[in-house]
Structure 1
Amino acid sequence: MSIRRRGRQIALQVLYQMEWGGWEEDASASISRYLETSVANGLSMDHPSVQFAKSLVEGVAKNRSVLDEIIRKYARNWRLDRMAIVDRNILRIGVYELKFVHDVPPKVAINEAIELGKRFGSEDSAPFINGILDAVNKDLGLG
């Protein structure tokens, strides 16, 4: 598994944890807590996947209101609070990468989000995520 794919998976799990906690814990503390669990398989804070995850978590947390507004615009007939937490956070990561992470090609960001949806979401997650991120990508004029 690539460093960034693993980082995205970590970021999704940490964002899920942060949302359950009411966004009260900061990114570094949430990632540290994540690393203390057996799920992290002995990763340290300086591992490249963890560093990438940290950048995603910090970026999503910092820009959450902007990301949520973009998601709302394209999630026709879906209120953000009615989406599955996993799908909502995958979309946040995907939109964050499309809008703010310029060294990730848009197609890669979308594909990685779809893969997260397949792995962690429901059977409907991947097409739902694809539809929203594809529309965001087209509107942002990224390709």
Structure 2
Amino acid sequence: MKPAERRRARKFAVQAIYQWQMTQANVGEIVEQFMVDQDLSKTDVEYFRGLVAGVSQTCEELDTKLAPYLARKREEMDLVDTAILRLAMFELSKRDDVPYKVVINEAIELAKEFAAEDSHKYVNGVLDKFIVSQKMRQSN
């Protein structure tokens, strides 16, 4: 799969995850709505589906993994930041085929596009702290 097709999948996934967080609507219905309403040509559609389903199914686990690295409670965070961090944590913890540097870079780019002005710095900091802690665990 081409990197640009995965990038588009992540872009749509963040939007779908955000919608799910806002509405608590059925994830399958949200995905199908995207399939109809959005131009998903040049998008890795299966990756998009897998990201949205994976984040929704493992949301509590992802939040637990993120919690030690957040500067504030997840409930107090902006929902766009939350969607981006959940997506990145899903890829970091469940997608061994994606290098962590790619995940972090993509999360930063998504934050620049969708989130508040300096959110990309916060997203980068949270994910960097997670990666450092994982490397330290592996070396011990």
Q: Under a length normalisation based on structure 1, what TM-score does the superposition of the two structures give?
A: 0.87
**1:96 aligns to 2:54 (yes or no):** no
Unaligned runs of 5+ in 1: none
Cα distance, 1:70 vs structure 2: 1.6
**Count of residues in correspondence between the two structures:** 135
**1:9 aligns to 2:4 (yes or no):** no
**1:122 aligns to 2:116 (yes or no):** yes
Unaligned runs of 5+ in 2: none
Question: Which whole-Å deviations, capped at 9, do the CAs of 1:75-131 have from their partners, x for residues lacking one?
Answer: 03x111111111001000111111110010000000000000001011111000000
Conserved in 2, the CA contact under 8 Å of 1:10 and 1:50?
A: no
Aligned-pair RMSD on alpha carbons? 1.9
Conserved in 2, the CA contact under 8 Å of 1:117 and 1:129?
A: yes
Match of residue 45, structure 2, among 46, 50, 67? 50
Residue 30 of structure 1 corresponds to 30
Residue 137 of structure 1 corresponds to 131
- The whole-number CA distance in structure 2 between the counterparts of 1:129 and 1:82 is 15
Identity across matched positions, percent: 35
- The whole-number CA distance in structure 2 between the counterparts of 1:117 and 1:63 is 21
